[in-house]
Amino acid sequence: MKILIVDDSDTSRLLLESILRHAGHADIVLAASAQEAFHLLELDNTGAGESPVDAILMDLMMPDMDGIEATRRIKAVGRLRDIPIVMVTVNADHRSLEQAFQAGAIDYITKPVNRIELRVRVHSVLKLKEEIDQRKIRERELMDLAGRLAEVNKRLKEMAIRDELTGLHNRRHFMEHARAEFLRHKRYGSPLSMLMMDADHFKTINDTYGHSVGDLALASLADIGRRQLREVDLFARIGGEEFAILLPETGPEEAMVVAERIRASVEHSCLRVDSPGHVAQPGQGLRFTVSIGLACTNEQLQDVDSLLKLADRALYAAKNSGRNRVEHSDG
């Protein structure tokens, strides 16, 4: 560990250095003034970083700037604040020592220096500095761990509300959000629309191409739908091939435009796949369609579950009317 000796007396500096080197302290630097010590400590560098020394022996009485003021300035720099400073003084009067301790010194040694006392005091402050450094390391490790735990918790929380296949929100999150939006609708009278959407003949896709292709089709459907919606809209997968969309501040005419845009986008999309035993040729691919049921809030609806039932009823009407269409609930 590195020790800095600050003393304007050449004799005192050399004596202190000699005693400490004989005690096994090899890394020692010397400064003949406070300004020279500031230069060694890079006092002007107020940024973060490790302290350049582990302990300082500071002469109390020096020309130009005494050890008390030098200590005060060193302790004002954040990265140097934890360096233990021991005052070395001929005059150990209470007033000077009190000022030194107020400035940030941790201990003092009187001149002429007692070799054993110097070794013990320096050993103690270096031990303290080592404990401080270890504490900082543990604090950084704990902060890093806390950061990683926060990130993991954030990911787990996101996973709890997301559908793994499509990346859309899941049914539980959709219903929680929909209930909050419905309460806002009831309070402010703002329109609220809901779409229920189902992939047509999805069992045939699974039977023909396999479940992996069926999964691709659902993921593709989610991507197409996302591109047609606003950030405030909520898109969720609530069942196998069934999706729900919540459209805040949207009346029936606007909701019909959105639903038709999604339906048409899906109809004109083409998913490149290979069926068992058959390699798709250029221009070939899987095409599929969706049926959509639309429902909007009205004065008779008392909760979001009723709105969901209306949208679901409209979806079944679209299915029964030939699929690949949008039906609006009259409820």
Tell me the average confidence (pLDDT) per consecutive run of 10 residues in the chain, 331 residues long: 93 94 93 93 77 92 92 91 92 86 92 92 91 89 91 86 91 93 90 95 89 91 94 93 95 95 93 56 73 92 91 94 91 64
Q: Is 154 exposed, middle or buried (0-12, 13-18, 19+ CB in 10 A)?
A: exposed
Residue located via tokens 């299915």: 319
Cα dihedral 110/115/116/121 (nearest 10): 50
Kindly tell me the sign of the dihedral angle through the C-alpha atoms of 95, 97, 99, 101: negative
Question: What angle is formed at CA 310 by the lines to CA 228 and CA 188, rounded to 5 degrees?
Answer: 75
Topology annotation, domain 171-328: Alpha-Beta Plaits (3.30.70)
pLDDT for the residue numbered 331: 64
Global pTM? 0.60
- Domain 3-140 CATH superfamily: Response regulator (3.40.50.2300)
CA nearest to 255, candidates 196, 318, 319, 185: 196
pLDDT for the residue numbered 136: 86
Q: Tell me the C-alpha distance between 88 and 64, whole Å.
A: 17
Q: Give the pair of three-digit tokens for residue 43.
A: 């006092």
Q: Is 316 exposed, middle or buried (0-12, 13-18, 19+ CB in 10 A)?
A: middle
- The verdict on whether omega for the bond into residue 252 sits within 30 degrees of 0, i.e. cis, is no
**Domain residue ranges in the chain:** 3-140, 171-328
3-state DSSP percent of the chain in helix, strand and coil, to 5: 50, 15, 35
Tally Cβ neighbours within 10 Å of residue 146.
10
